[in-house]
Amino acid sequence: MAPRSGLRRRLTLSALGLAATMLATPALSQADEWPSRPIHMVVPFPPGSSPDTLARMIADPLSEKLGQTIVVENKPGAGGNIGTRQVAHAKPDGYTILLTINGPIVTAPSLYKSTLGYDPDKDLQVISMVGTSPNVLVVPADAPADNVQQFVERAREKPGVLNYGTVGPGSSSHLGMAMLEQEAGISLLQVPYSGFPQVITAIVAGDVHAGFMVPGVAMPQVKAGKVKVLGITSLEESEVLPGLPTVASQGFPGFESISWDALFVPAGTPDEIVQKLNKHVLEVLAMPKVQEQMATLYFTAAPTTPAEAEAMIRKEKEKLTALIEKLGIKLD
C-alpha cells in the first residue's frame, strides 16, 4: 500500500507542476492565430459599383498585411440589405467582413422596420470608415441658377413647380434635397428613377431641374459642359473636388450629406481581432497608392478607430431617422 501511495503523491505533484507550467505560459490568443484561412469580404452591391471598386482597392494590400487571401464577394439586392443581413448573422470569427455604404446601416432600419431582418446596432461591429465623398447638387448647363441661393430663390418664386431627380424615396439623393427643402423653406417635386445614370440623363435633357448625386456620375457630364454643379454637400471644400463651393458656405451653415463606405464584422467578434483588423486597415488607408486610387472615385480615405466610426454613424443616424419619420417614409 505504501508504494502505491507514494506513486499517487508523485503523480499528483507532477499534475500540479504541469498545471503551473500551463498557467505560467501565455496562451496563444485568437488574434495570434487569426487569420489562418482566407477571409471573405462581402460587398452588398453589384460588380463595378463604387463599393465594389473600393473593396477591391483595399483587398489586395490588406491581404498582404494579414498574410491571407481576401475574397471579395458581391451579394447585391434590396439596396444592400441582403448582403448586410448575411454578414450580420455570420459567425463572429473574423473570417466574414462587410464593406458597405450609409444606407443599410443608417437609414434602412427606419425605412424597413418590419422586414429588414437585422439590427445594425446589435448585429454588427464597425472596424473603420474607409472613405467619404460629398454628393453634388447639379442642374442643367443652361439653368438660370449659378449657385445654391439663386436656385432656392427660383424655387421660392415657383413653389411646387421645380422638380428633382432621385434614385428613390429614402435614398441619399432624396434625403439630401429634403434637408435643403426644410432649411430653405422651399417645396420641390421628387421624380424617382432606377439609378443615377438615368437621373443625370434626365437633367442633361432638361426633364428635371436638379438633383443631388454621387460625383462619379455627375463629373463627366460637368466636364463635358452638359450640367453644372451648384454646390457640394461636405462641410468643407473637398480635395477631390477642388474649387467647388459647399452648400454650407452658401447660406446654409451645417448642411452636410456625405456618402461613406465602412468595414464591419459580425457583433461578438473578439476585440483583439477587431483591433488587429483596424490596425492593418489604417495602414492600408495611409498608402499613397490607395489614396490616389480612391481619389479617382472622388473618395477621400477616412481612417478611424471603431469608436470614432461609431460616433459618426450614431450622429448621422439620429439626424436622418428624425427626417425620415418627419417625412413619413416607409418602404415595407
Domain boundary among 231, 250, 269: 250
What's the domain count of the chain? 2
- For 181, the enclosing helix (H) or strand (E) is helix 172-184
Count the helices and strands in the chain (H runs, E runs): 14, 11
Angstrom distance (rounded) from CA 24 to CA 204: 71
b/e burial code for range 145-163 (CB count within 10 A of at least 16 → b): bebbeebbebbeeeeeebb
Where residue 32 falls among pLDDT bands split at 50, 70, 90? confident
The predicted model gives 272-301 an average pLDDT of 98
Asked if the structure places residue 2 within a domain, the reply is no
128 & 142 share domain: no
Write out the three cell numbers for 1: 500500500
Q: Using one digit for the tens of pLDDT, what is the confidence trace for 141-159?
A: 999 999 999 999 999 998 8
Asked if the structure places residue 8 within a domain, the reply is no
Q: Are 233 and 258 in contact (CB under 8 A)?
A: yes
The predicted model gives 171-181 an average pLDDT of 96
243 & 314 share domain: no
**How do beta strands 211-213 and 136-140 pair?**
antiparallel
219: containing domain: 136-250
- Cα 103 to chain centroid distance, Å, stands at 7
Q: Using one digit for the tens of pLDDT, what is the confidence trace for 260-271?
A: 999 999 999 999
184 & 82 share domain: no
Q: How many CB atoms lie within 10 A of CB 64?
A: 12
pLDDT for 31 equals 64
47 & 128 share domain: yes
pTM above 0.85, yes or no: yes
270 & 239 share domain: no
220 & 71 share domain: no
Domain boundary among 208, 233, 250: 250
pLDDT for 200 equals 97
Asked if the structure places residue 101 within a domain, the reply is yes
Asked if the structure places residue 25 within a domain, the reply is no
| Residue carrying C-alpha cell 486610387 | 293
81 & 112 share domain: yes
Domain boundary among 190, 223, 250: 250
296 & 244 share domain: no
